[in-house]
Structure 1
Amino acid sequence: MNLTKASPEFLDIVSCFYKRSTALEEAFCNGPFFKCNAEGMEIAYIFKYAFYKGDIDGKDPWSIRQTGVYQKYNFATKSSTWIFLHPAKQSAFQTRLEEMLTSSEECSRIRDHLFFLHNIFISTSFPHWRDFMAYYEARLLTQHKIIMGSSLNEPLRINHQTLNTVIFIENRFLTLRTVLHSVRKAFETIHKANDALCDADIFPLSEREGTRQLFDNYINQADEYTQNVSFLHTRAGRTAQLIADTLSFKNALTAQEQSRYMLSLTSSTVEDSTTVRTITIVTLIFLPSTFMATVLGMNGFFEMDPQNHNLVVSPQFWIFVVCAIPLTLLTVFCWWMRRKKQERPQDEKAISMV
C-alpha cells in the first residue's frame, strides 16, 4: 500500500483472497471502485471466471476462480501501476502477459493504450463462461432425456442421486447469475473510467470511442450470458421438480399396488378361514362316529366272543397303530409342502412390490 499509494478501498479487494476448503463466497464479489482526482485515476475490481480443471477421479471438472485487478494512472508521469491478484501460481492470463512482454511492439501497445491490459485479461478469461454453461447444459439434457423416457409401469432409471445431480446443476446456474452481474458491473466501471479520462482530455476522442465500443460489446455479451443462464436455471429447476414428482408418483403407485395385494390377501384369508371353520365343524360332527365305526368294523382286530358275546381285541392290533401313525405323518407332511408351495409366489409378488 505504501509503495503503490493505493487507496484504502483496495484492501476490500485483497480481503477476498484467503484459503478456502469449501466453496465459500463462491458467488460473492466485492463491488468495483473508481476514483479520479487531480493527481490521477484508480480503478479496481474482482473478476470471476470459469476454470477447467479436467475430469479427475470423477469430480466436477469446472471451478470458479477470481482475479483481483488494480490500476492506478498518474496524470503527471502518464504511467500506470498494475496489480493482478490470483490464487494460482500460474494462470492463462499471466502466461499470455509474459509472452507479450517479450515483444517490444506489444510493450508499446500496453504503454500507449490505457485500458489495453483490461482487454487482454478479459478476453483471456471471460469467454470460458460459455463452455462452462454448455457443459452443465449437456449434463442437464442427459438427465432430462432419462426422466422423459421413464414409465411408471416399469422400473425407473432415476433415483435420489439423479435428483441430487440436477439440483447441483441448478445451484451452479444460480451462482453464475450473481457472478455475471458482478462481471457486468466491472465492465461498467471501466466504461465509466474511460469516459472520465476522455472528459479530462487525457487521451484523444478516437481512443475513447474504440474503448467504449469494446466494453459496450463486453456488456452486451454479459447480458446474453445472463439471459442464457437464467433460462438454464429455470430449466434445471423444472427438471428437478419433474424428477421429484415422478418419484412421488412411483411411490404412490407402489403403495396402491401393495394396498390391492393386501386387500386380496385379506379376502383370501377370510375365505380360507370360513372354509376351514366349516370343514372343522363338519369334521367334529362326523369324526367320532366315523372313527368308532371304522375301528369297530376292522374284523381282523376286533371280534365278538360267541360264547359270552364280549368284544375281544386281537393281539395283532399293534399293526394298526404302526401303519396309522406313519400314514398320518405322511399326510400332514404333504399338506405342509403344498401350503409352502402356494405361499412362495405370494411372497415373491409382495417383495417385487416393495
Structure 2
Amino acid sequence: MNQLREVHEFCYNVQYVRRNGRGRGDPWSLRQFGVYQQLSCSDRRSTWIVLQASDEIQKRLTEAMESRSCGTNDSLTDPMIPHLVFMSTIALDWQCYTEYLNSQLSIFDRKACFSSVHTMASEDFTVSFTDCQNLQVLQQKIHKAITVLDCNFDIVRGCLAHCQRLIDSNLTSIGKQALAELETCYKQLEVHRREINRIHECSQGTARLLAQILDFRDRQALCSVNAHIKDQLEILKGTHKTVEVNLDTLQRIAFQIHQENTKLGEIALKSQKDSSVLKGFGMVATIFLPASLIAELFSSSLVQSQPVDVDDAARGTHMVVSRHFWIFIVAWVVSAVFTTAWPLILSAKRFRWN
C-alpha cells in the first residue's frame, strides 16, 4: 500500500486452486494472478492492472461491475467491487480441494490402520516404500496449500484495511457491505485452514505408522532370513560331518582294497611260480608220455612177441600186432574228437544264450 495525498495504490498477488480438467495426473492445479489498483481521490477513478486473469475471473468481474455500478454515475464503478470479486475467487474451490486431499489421505490411512503386520493375507492391503513416497508427495501438496492459505489471509486482511481507509476517505459507497463480505471470506478461509491443518496432522501420523509397519516387516524378514541362514549352516555342519564319516569309510575301504590288491599280487606271483612248476611237470610229462604210451602199448596184448620159428626158438622172436588193434585206434580217435569238440560245443551254447 502506498498512500499519497491524492492517490491510493494497492496491489497483491493471488494464488488459488482450480480443477485443470486434464483427465490424467493430478486433477488440481495451483494458479495465480496479479492485481494493481491506483485510485484517484479527486475524481474517484481507478486504474486497474490485472495480470494472468483467467476467463472465469474476467467473466465474474464483468458481471459484478455491471450489477454494482454506482447509481449516480454508471461510468464510475465502486473501487471495492473488483476486490470483492477477487476475494470470492480465492475462497471458491477450497472446500472441494480439501475434500480431495482428505480422500487421497484416506487411501494411505486405510493401509496404515488395517494392514496385517505379521502375515499378509490374499485380501490384505499391500504396503510398500512406494506408499511412503506417494504420501510424501501428498504432504508436500498439503504444505503448499497451507502456505497459499496463509498468503490469502494476508491478502484478505490487506483488503480489509484498504476498505477501511476508503470508508474513512468516503471513497466507497459499499463500505459496510464490502467489510461484511471480506469478513465472511476470511472466516471461510479460516475453516479451510483448520481442515487442512487437521489433514496435515493426520498425514504425519499415517506416515509414521506406515514407516513403522515397513520397519517391522523388514525386521521380521531379516529375522526370517537369519533363521534360514542358521538352518542352512546347521545343515552344512551335518553334511560336513557326514562327508567326514564318508571320507573315513572311503579311506578304510581304500586301505582294504590296497591290502587285497597286495594279497592278490602275492597270490598272482605265487601262481606264476606254481605255473612255472606245472609247466615243467607238463614238459616232463610231454617228454615221457610217448615213451610211456609205447611201453604201455608193447606191454599190452595188442602187441605180442612171437618166435620166428615155432620149432626152432633159437632163431629169435618178432613183434606181432593183435587183430583187435583197430579197436584201440578207433577208441583213441573217438576220444580225441569228443575231447576236442566238447569245449567248442559248450562255448557255442553260451554265445547263443548271451
TM-score w.r.t. structure 1 length?
A: 0.66
Which of 147, 158, 180 is the matching residue for 1:189?
Answer: 158
Which of 77, 92, 95 is the matching residue for 1:127?
Answer: 92
* 8 Å CA contact 1:48, 1:66 repeated in 2: yes
Which residue number in structure 2 is paired with residue 115 of structure 1?
80
Between the aligned partners of 1:100 and 1:219, the Cα distance in structure 2 is: 20
Which residue number in structure 1 is paired with residue 61 of structure 2?
97
Distance of aligned partners of 1:292 and 1:38 in 2 relative to their CA distance in 1, 3 Å threshold: same
Which residue number in structure 2 is paired with residue 50 of structure 1?
17
Which of 98, 104, 111 is the matching residue for 1:139?
Answer: 104
What amino acid is aligned across from residue 154 of structure 1 in structure 2?
Answer: M
Size of the aligned set, in residue pairs, is 266
- Residues 91-114 of structure 1 show CA distances to partners (whole Å, capped at 9, x for unaligned) of 31113334556x5x4545784533
What amino acid is aligned across from residue 57 of structure 2 in structure 1?
Answer: F
* 8 Å CA contact 1:40, 1:73 repeated in 2: yes
Shift of 1:265: 0.6
* 8 Å CA contact 2:101, 2:199 repeated in 1: no
- Residues 20-77 of structure 1 show CA distances to partners (whole Å, capped at 9, x for unaligned) of xxxxxxxxxxxxxx23343132211111100211244x32222211111122222211
What amino acid is aligned across from residue 240 of structure 1 in structure 2?
Answer: A
Which residue number in structure 2 is paired with residue 79 of structure 1?
45
Residues 1:64 and 2:33 aligned together:
no
Shift of 1:138: 0.9
Between the aligned partners of 1:287 and 1:203, the Cα distance in structure 2 is: 117
Shift of 1:154: 2.4
Which of 210, 224, 238 is the matching residue for 1:271?
Answer: 238
Between the aligned partners of 1:307 and 1:177, the Cα distance in structure 2 is: 112
Residues 1:148 and 2:109 aligned together:
no
Which of 148, 155, 160 is the matching residue for 2:129?
Answer: 160
Between the aligned partners of 1:176 and 1:307, the Cα distance in structure 2 is: 111
Distance of aligned partners of 1:209 and 1:307 in 2 relative to their CA distance in 1, 3 Å threshold: closer
Structure 2's unaligned 5+ residue stretches are: 277-354
Between the aligned partners of 1:129 and 1:306, the Cα distance in structure 2 is: 113
Which of 27, 31, 38 is the matching residue for 2:5?
Answer: 38
Between the aligned partners of 2:8 and 2:273, the Cα distance in structure 1 is: 145
* 8 Å CA contact 2:68, 2:77 repeated in 1: no
Between the aligned partners of 2:63 and 2:167, the Cα distance in structure 1 is: 30
Shift of 1:182: 1.1
Distance of aligned partners of 1:79 and 1:184 in 2 relative to their CA distance in 1, 3 Å threshold: same
Between the aligned partners of 2:18 and 2:150, the Cα distance in structure 1 is: 18
Between the aligned partners of 1:37 and 1:99, the Cα distance in structure 2 is: 31
Distance of aligned partners of 1:287 and 1:203 in 2 relative to their CA distance in 1, 3 Å threshold: closer
Between the aligned partners of 1:191 and 1:226, the Cα distance in structure 2 is: 19
DSSP-derived class of the 2:18 partner? strand
* 8 Å CA contact 1:93, 1:125 repeated in 2: no
Query: Greater shift after overlay, 111-120 or 63-72?
Result: 111-120
Query: Whose radius of gyration is greater, 1 or 2?
Result: 2
Between the aligned partners of 2:196 and 2:84, the Cα distance in structure 1 is: 24
Between the aligned partners of 1:291 and 1:136, the Cα distance in structure 2 is: 85
Between the aligned partners of 1:307 and 1:117, the Cα distance in structure 2 is: 133
Between the aligned partners of 2:156 and 2:137, the Cα distance in structure 1 is: 29
Shift of 1:176: 1.5
Query: Greater shift after overlay, 59-68 or 164-173?
Result: 59-68
Between the aligned partners of 2:189 and 2:273, the Cα distance in structure 1 is: 125
* 8 Å CA contact 1:92, 1:124 repeated in 2: no
Which of 201, 220, 227 is the matching residue for 1:260?
Answer: 227
* 8 Å CA contact 2:80, 2:178 repeated in 1: yes
Which residue number in structure 2 is paired with residue 199 of structure 1?
168
TM-score w.r.t. structure 2 length?
A: 0.66
Between the aligned partners of 1:307 and 1:230, the Cα distance in structure 2 is: 111
Between the aligned partners of 2:130 and 2:274, the Cα distance in structure 1 is: 92
Identity %: 18
Query: Greater shift after overlay, 69-78 or 287-296?
Result: 287-296
DSSP-derived class of the 1:308 partner? helix
What amino acid is aligned across from residue 276 of structure 1 in structure 2?
Answer: V
- Residues 145-171 of structure 1 show CA distances to partners (whole Å, capped at 9, x for unaligned) of 123332242287232322111101101
* 8 Å CA contact 1:41, 1:72 repeated in 2: yes
Which residue number in structure 2 is paired with residue 222 of structure 1?
189
Q: Which has the higher contact order (CA 8 A, sep 6+)?
A: 1
